[in-house]
Amino acid sequence: MENRDNIKGIAARVAMWSARHRALAIFGWIAFVVATVVLSGALGTQNANEAEAGHGDSGKADRIVGAAGFPEQPAGEMVLIQNRSGSGRVTAAEEVTRALGAVSGVTGIQDPIDSPDGRSTLITFEIAGDPETAGDRVGPAMDAVARVQAAHPDLYIAEAGGASGDKLIGDELESGLTRLSMLSIPVTLGILLVAFGAVVASLLPVALAIMSVVAAIGLMAAASRFAPAVDETTHVMLLIGLAVGVDYCLFYIRRERDERRAGADPHRALMIAAQTSGRSIWISGLTVIVAMAGMFFTQDVTFVSFATGTILVVATAVLGSLTVLPALLSALGDRVDAIKIPGLYRKKGDGRVWNALLRVVLAKPLISATVAVAALAVIAYPALDLKTKGQAIQDVSADAPVVKAFVAIGEAFPSKTTPAQIVIKDGSVKTPAFEKALADFQVAARDSGGKLVEPVDVDINPAGTVAVVSVGLAGKESDSAAIDALNLLRDRVVPDTFGRLDGATALVSGSTAGGVDYNEQLEKTLPMVFAFVLGLAFILLLVSFRSVVVAITGLVLNLLSVAACYGMLVFVFQWGNFEEQLNFVSGGGITNWMPMFLFVILFGLSMDYHVFVVSRIREGHDRGLPIREAVSEGIGRTAGVITSAAVVMVAVFALFATLPLTATKELGVGLAAAVLLDATIIRAVLLPSVMALLGRANWWLPKWLGWLPEIAHEPPAQAVPAGQGERELTPVS
């Protein structure tokens, strides 16, 4: 057995400890996962309060309303009646009112109101009970409205609102997530079966990845006390956890198997895998965690939740890969290749395609680098036109009847769907001064040239200290007309009316104002996020490889990957290509939280491949190989595992494009495209060509940084005498 004093590095020491204490490591991991599930069930996950999530004036206004003691409002619903062929709407409105009145749980039915153009009638009502669960009870009301529509084919009669919208989102998401859960694991397992050619080796990464996700979700229940969770966090954790967890295990298992096939005894093979792939895993994981931590700088509830969830799932995946996986490999020995699949199991991957490409790249590195950069520039070019937008109900399913009704109501009655809300806080809002300010506001709205749309609604809290004045905005939620109307409201109308009340606070909120304030917050914090992620990633790479050039190269290549991802997103989702294939309707922009989130995610995930490949190249360099031979050997030997890892990530990410929300489609397409480009053009063409061009300069380190720790790489295993290897394959009890 290898002298334990020669074991170098945290990953190797942990792996050797796990191998010597297999039962403790394996059952300890299982106990850890079970404990997190129990913890989650006992604590429950604390969800973010929307009233606490805003930024700027709109966020302040929402917090004032949240603390003002307004009674909880039931879920509101609306029925729109529109002419199709000139028929009257009065009879249909009466029938809708009667039909809704006969439905249990429907309350607060209001008299019909007509739109300014005389083409539309609107009836509003409420669903009694908890508004959070109203989507479960709105079905009978929707059925009643549908019956009236069937009786009046010459009219357009449709329902939309909070409850029906929640029902749509719930139904669509449940269907999508069910489909995702049924496909993601079988697809991942199928890819691994092709990659390994053996059932046991394929099951290990999937099992450990799933357990890592389960454990991280359990830990999120405790973490949500400090960082309240948003609904999308679990989806993001599943996305990242499954991809990263499988990749880490894949790297480790493949290296251990390669060393065994090269003639190493079980102990040495495991130690080499730990000192190389294990080291790459924890460096990569640490870099991903650093990238995710950059989201904390946004001070945004959604990003803080995403950061917390992804950090937990990556940390858990790293923990499992470095502890229980070595114990399992030690226990299984050569049985990790059990249940071989005929035709797929190979002693060694030939890698002929990648090696042939690599020979061309290294023979003509300047031409190869130029072609790769040009290709990435073409893909990234649309990113110059990148625009962002807030999320809207149209992002769920543009063809759904509820969505169409909501859009039609918004066009006919702007003040009823996404109104601007002026929140006035004063000692009392039941005074003549307030009434005069309200009257002046109504006059200003009428004189706004159609930018502010009546009617003006007023709601006052029981204490009489806070009033919410609602008015419609011209245009749609985030288009130029709506922004112009919002600016008029904030810059002139509110200061000239409610702003004149002595000692009062008057702030504008609503979806349009919230979107503007959200974008301003992101623009303000974006430089801090970029500086933090780039700076710490540079330091990690510098320390890991003792090379300024390798660190800079890694950052530049990762930024190219992110730029290409942005270009793909703009081409597809902003410019509206592949709408039919992906089942979405372009909103003219990318979801506002997507660019920053994809930056930190991709920057972290790209480090998986970069650290893994460059570590293998550095091994060759440390053995004295010339740079081109080291590059050829390093990339040639990792091509197979990089391809398998990339295919797993691309498949998992692409499945998220099948979910109904446009944001999840953007996430899936963006990540899948970026990983595919990263594993092909960047790692297989641009990285080797750049390193070949730089030559010895790749490993340049200023003398004043000579104090950085030396990271030794384990040389390849020496062959063992015939027969000895067979005896050492048997796991030690």
Looking at the structure, do residues 488 and 553 belong to the same domain, yes or no?
no
Residue at a domain's end among 168, 186, 216? 168
The highest-confidence range among 239-253, 331-345, 495-509, by mean pLDDT, is 495-509
Range of the domain at 140: 57-168
Q: Is residue 487 scored above 90 in pLDDT?
A: yes
Q: Evaluate whether residue 64 is within a structural domain.
A: yes
Q: Which CATH number characterizes residue 131's domain?
A: 3.30.70.260
Mean pLDDT, all residues of the chain: 87
Q: Is residue 561 scored above 50 in pLDDT?
A: yes
Q: Residue by residue, what is the 3-state secondary structure of 126-141?
A: EECCCHHHHHHCCHHH
pLDDT at 720: 40
Looking at the structure, do residues 504 and 549 belong to the same domain, yes or no?
no
Residue at a domain's end among 150, 168, 186? 168
Looking at the structure, do residues 564 and 713 belong to the same domain, yes or no?
yes
Q: Is residue 183 scored above 50 in pLDDT?
A: yes
Q: Is residue 86 scored above 80 in pLDDT?
A: no
Q: Is 117 exposed, middle or buried (0-12, 13-18, 19+ CB in 10 A)?
A: exposed
Looking at the structure, do residues 572 and 686 belong to the same domain, yes or no?
yes
Q: Is residue 731 scored above 70 in pLDDT?
A: no
Q: DSSP letter string over 68-86? A: TTPPPPPEEEEEEEEESSS
The model's pLDDT over 124-168, given as tens digits with 9 standing for 90+, comes to 999 999 888 999 999 999 999 999 999 998 899 999 998 999 888
Confidence band, pLDDT 50/70/90 cuts, at residue 610? confident
Q: Which CATH number characterizes residue 612's domain?
A: 1.20.1640.10
Confidence band, pLDDT 50/70/90 cuts, at residue 81? very high
Q: Is residue 239 scored above 60 in pLDDT?
A: yes
Looking at the structure, do residues 447 and 551 belong to the same domain, yes or no?
no
Q: Is residue 713 scored above 70 in pLDDT?
A: no
Looking at the structure, do residues 437 and 379 belong to the same domain, yes or no?
no
For the ranges 392-401, 597-606, 704-713, the lowest mean pLDDT is seen at: 704-713
Q: Evaluate whether residue 249 is within a structural domain.
A: no
Q: Is residue 175 scored above 90 in pLDDT?
A: no
Q: Evaluate whether residue 728 is within a structural domain.
A: no
81 φ, ψ (degrees, to nearest 5): -120, 120
pLDDT at 727: 34
Determine the average pLDDT of the residues in 112-134. Answer: 90
Give the residue from 281, 367, 364 showing the smallest Cα distance to 319. Answer: 281
Confidence band, pLDDT 50/70/90 cuts, at residue 342? confident
Angle at 318 between CA 314 and CA 323, to 5 degrees: 150
pLDDT at 732: 33
Euclidean distance between CA atoms 654 and 429, whole angstroms: 53
The highest-confidence range among 71-75, 265-269, 448-452, 570-574, by mean pLDDT, is 570-574
Q: Evaluate whether residue 270 is within a structural domain.
A: no
Looking at the structure, do residues 546 and 693 belong to the same domain, yes or no?
yes
Q: Which CATH number characterizes residue 446's domain?
A: 3.30.70.600
Q: Is residue 5 scored above 50 in pLDDT?
A: no
Looking at the structure, do residues 387 and 423 belong to the same domain, yes or no?
no
Looking at the structure, do residues 67 and 158 belong to the same domain, yes or no?
yes
Q: DSSP letter string over 476-531? A: -TTSHHHHHHHHHIIIIIHHHTGGGSTT-EEEEESHHHHHHHHHHHHHHHHHHHHH
Q: Evaluate whether residue 524 is within a structural domain.
A: no
Q: Judge contact between 124 and 76, C-beta under 8 A.
A: yes
State both tokens at 433: 């001064």
pLDDT at 347: 58
Q: Evaluate whether residue 328 is within a structural domain.
A: no
Q: Evaluate whether residue 371 is within a structural domain.
A: yes
pLDDT at 132: 84
Q: How many CB atoms lie within 10 A of CB 323?
A: 20
The length of the chain is 733
Q: Provide the number of structural domains found in the chain.
A: 3
Residue at a domain's end among 168, 184, 214? 168
Looking at the structure, do residues 484 and 553 belong to the same domain, yes or no?
no
Determine the average pLDDT of the residues in 501-510. Answer: 94
Euclidean distance between CA atoms 262 and 731, whole angstroms: 18
Confidence band, pLDDT 50/70/90 cuts, at residue 464? very high
Q: Is 267 exposed, middle or buried (0-12, 13-18, 19+ CB in 10 A)?
A: middle
Q: Is residue 1 scored above 50 in pLDDT?
A: no
pLDDT at 7: 64
Q: Evaluate whether residue 593 is within a structural domain.
A: yes
Q: DSSP letter string over 540-581? A: HHHHHHS-HHHHHHHHHHHHHHHHHHHHHHIIIIITTTTHHH
Q: Is residue 257 scored above 60 in pLDDT?
A: yes
Pick 588 or 159 by higher pLDDT. Answer: 159
Looking at the structure, do residues 588 and 702 belong to the same domain, yes or no?
yes
Looking at the structure, do residues 569 and 707 belong to the same domain, yes or no?
yes
